[in-house]
Amino acid sequence: MDVIGPDGQSAAGFGACAEPGNHISLGRAGSLVIGSVGTHIAASVRVVTEQCEAVATVTDGYFMVPPHLTPNPHVLHAVHMIGTDGEHLGAVTELTAPGSALPVTD
């Protein structure tokens, strides 16, 4: 997969087939941050940084963090998993992108 950012920077990558784990993970290509809830069944996530917060839909275990929340690689993220009925399923805090952590579940 190739990604070209608005500033002209590009990133390329490749994937491998593997079973998802139970960590919340964030990957970064420039200002683009894609997250995974792993094996957790979440309908959405609430992502909080020092800039702001936003709710992102989870599709097939993945979500995209809005770029205005992640202006640089040193930003710390809190990711709260939300179930289909709006219930809080668990969260990680102080997560950088790239990075992953085991969520504290309710």
Hunting for tokens 């079973």 — which residue is that?
19
pTM: 0.80
In 1-106, which ranges are E strands? 2-4, 10-12, 24-29, 32-36, 44-48, 53-57, 62-65, 77-82, 88-95, 99-101, 104-105
49-60 pLDDT, tens digit per residue, is 998 999 999 999
**Averaged over 26-42, what is the pLDDT?**
93
Question: Rounded CA gap, 82 and 4, in Å?
Answer: 31
85-94 pLDDT, tens digit per residue, is 999 999 999 9
* Residue 103 tokens, joined: 């969520």
pLDDT-derived band at 65, boundaries 50, 70, 90? very high
Whether the predicted pLDDT of 2 surpasses 80: no
- pLDDT at res. 1: 47
